[in-house]
Structure 1
Amino acid sequence: MNTNDLKIFEAVAFYGSFTKAAEAMFTVQSNVTARIKSLEDEFGADLFTRSSRKVTLTTAGETLMHYCKQIGHLVEEAKKEIKKANQISGQLKIGCIETTMALKVPDILNRFTDAYPDIELEFKSEMRHGLINDVINYKLDAAFVSGPINSPELEQIHIKEEQLVIFSSAQKTKLTEILAVQPLKIIVFDQGCIFRARLEAWLSAKGIINYKSMVVNSLEGIINFVEAGLGISILPAELISQHYAGRKLNTFVMSKELGTMTTLLVFRKNIPQSRALRAFIDLYKAELIS
């Protein structure tokens, strides 16, 4: 077995076809079949269920796929480490929710790139669940997400506590009057958004089940819709005070239980970290100590 055998195995799993995998790997189907047979003999188990239409991973195949991702990641990190052993360089892919992107990323870029100019930072904005999956599946090196998180595959660093607030247009001055409108309209991101979940939990706690959700796919869009009086929403108080202080908005304090959001930095556990990722993690650990 060699790493190319594992790449062929991953290609078959991805395409669900020996023929398509052969095309993607620039080889012939007979070679793909032979390499998969060799792997199955070596592991003593069938890796694929074969049918006339498609091949799919068996339980043993899914187990091997899990380790394939780790092996591929380790090989790439080894290449990077050996290539530039005397300097910290490379690329880091960091995930975060959209509010973190707006509020914290510029500061992160400034401080980190000043300290490590040879490391290229790439940020991805996504829903919390997607970010966690991407870290676990090696698509992201780390991610800023809301806690709590209970995953045996992830390490986590507590970054900060954020206070959430309900906000409305400036025309609305009393929360009781806003909530009395039927049906209440809320301006939110799509399902999976931590802020939407908190707002819906807050409404449920107040016994409000009759509301209409208006889904907007950008932070600026939510601010614009709320300012125009189309509904209420929820965001970190710091974000509104720092970036939208001049907008015609009113904010309302929430209870500590639902109004406090914990931000964590998560990354994979039990695998060697690249020097670039270690530098990124150490930067935040140093901040927490100071």
Structure 2
Amino acid sequence: MNSNDLKIFEAAAELGSFTKAAEATFTVQSNVTARIKSLEEEFGAELFRRVSRKVVLTEAGETLLQYAKKISHLMDDAKSDIQNVDKVGGTIKIGCIETTMALKVPEIIKSFGELYPAVELEFFSAVLPTLIRDVLDYKLDAAFVAAPINIPGLEQLIVRDEQLVIVTAGNVTRLTEILKQDPLKIVVFGQGCFFRARLETWLGSKGILRYKSTILNSIEGIINFVEAGLGISILPEEVVNLYYSSRNIKTFPVSKELATMTTLLIYRNDELPSKALKAFLEEYTKK
């Protein structure tokens, strides 16, 4: 077995096809079949079974896939650390919830970049379940997420607390007026978004169970729709004040028990981090 065998295996597992795996790894299907067969002989277990026109992992294949991802990630870290043996360099892939992307990423790039100019930071925005899954699957090195998180395999550092507010159109004088609407209109991110879940919890505390949701995928879009009177939303007060203070919108406080959002930095705890990731984590350990 060599690392290329595992890359072929990963491609077949992700794509569900030996033919597509061959295209993705720039080889021929016969070689994919031979490499998979070699792995099955080495581990003494069937790794794939055919279902219709696809191949799917067996239980043994699922186990090997997790190890293959880990090995691939460790090899990348080793290559990066060896190539940058006299400095901190390489690439770190960081996931963010949408508000962290807007509020914190420019600051992170500036401050961390000044300390470690040889490190390349790549940022990706997604909802909470996707960020957690991608960290566990080695697609991300770390991610900024909203607390609470209690998942085996993940460590966490507390980054900051933020205060949430209800955001409405600028012509709203009292929040109680809006809450009388039936159905109430809300403007939110998709399922899995922390802010959507918090808004729905807040509405539930007010006895409001019927509401009509408009789903958007950016803060800018949410602000535009709220400003146009198409619904209410919930966002960090700092984001609204810093970036949208000139917009025709208004904010209202949220009950104390629902107002605070704690941002965490999560990362895997099953391996030593690369030099670059260790340096990144240390910046938050100091705080």
| TM-score normalized by the length of structure 1 | 0.93
Written as runs of structure 1 = structure 2, the 5 A alignment for 1:10-29 is 10-29=10-29
Provide the residue aligned with 1:93 in structure 2.
93
8 A Cα contact 1:74 1:272, kept in partner: no
Report deviation, 1:28. Answer: 4.3
Whole-Å separation in 2 of the counterparts to 1:244 and 1:64 = 48
Residue 37 of structure 2 is aligned to residue 67 of structure 1: no
Report deviation, 1:141. Answer: 1.1
8 A Cα contact 2:227 2:248, kept in partner: yes
Provide the residue aligned with 1:204 in structure 2.
204
8 A Cα contact 1:154 1:268, kept in partner: yes
Written as runs of structure 1 = structure 2, the 5 A alignment for 1:170-185 is 170-185=170-185
Whole-Å separation in 1 of the counterparts to 2:231 and 2:19 = 53
Whole-Å separation in 2 of the counterparts to 1:260 and 1:194 = 12
Q: Which runs of 5+ in 2 are unaligned?
A: none
Report deviation, 1:8. Answer: 2.3
8 A Cα contact 1:186 1:212, kept in partner: yes
Report deviation, 1:52. Answer: 6.5
Written as runs of structure 1 = structure 2, the 5 A alignment for 1:162-177 is 162-177=162-177
Q: Give the letter for the 1:149 counterpart.
A: I
Whole-Å separation in 2 of the counterparts to 1:18 and 1:181 = 55
Q: Which moved more, 1:188-197 or 1:16-25?
A: 16-25
Q: Give the letter for the 1:14 counterpart.
A: E
Provide the residue aligned with 1:137 in structure 2.
137
8 A Cα contact 1:166 1:234, kept in partner: yes
Provide the residue aligned with 1:254 in structure 2.
254
Report deviation, 1:53. Answer: 2.7
Written as runs of structure 1 = structure 2, the 5 A alignment for 1:28-67 is 28-50=28-50, 53-67=53-67
What whole-Å deviation, never above 9, does each CA across 1:8-33 have from its counterpart, x for those lacking one?
22233233333443444444444433
What whole-Å deviation, never above 9, does each CA across 1:204-243 have from its counterpart, x for those lacking one?
1111112211222221121122122222110011111222
Report deviation, 1:74. Answer: 0.6
Give the RMSD, CA atoms, in angstroms.
1.6
| TM-score normalized by the length of structure 2 | 0.94
Partner SS, residue 12 of structure 2: helix
Report deviation, 1:176. Answer: 1.2
Report deviation, 1:80. Answer: 1.1
Q: Which runs of 5+ in 1 are unaligned?
A: none
8 A Cα contact 1:96 1:144, kept in partner: yes
Written as runs of structure 1 = structure 2, the 5 A alignment for 1:76-155 is 76-155=76-155
Q: Give the letter for the 1:77 counterpart.
A: D
Q: Give the letter for the 1:183 counterpart.
A: P
Q: Give the letter for the 1:38 counterpart.
A: S
Report deviation, 1:51. Answer: 5.4
Provide the residue aligned with 2:268 in structure 1.
268
Q: Give the letter for the 1:109 counterpart.
A: I
Identical aligned residues as a percent: 62
Provide the residue aligned with 2:234 in structure 1.
234
Partner SS, residue 267 of structure 2: strand
8 A Cα contact 2:81 2:90, kept in partner: no
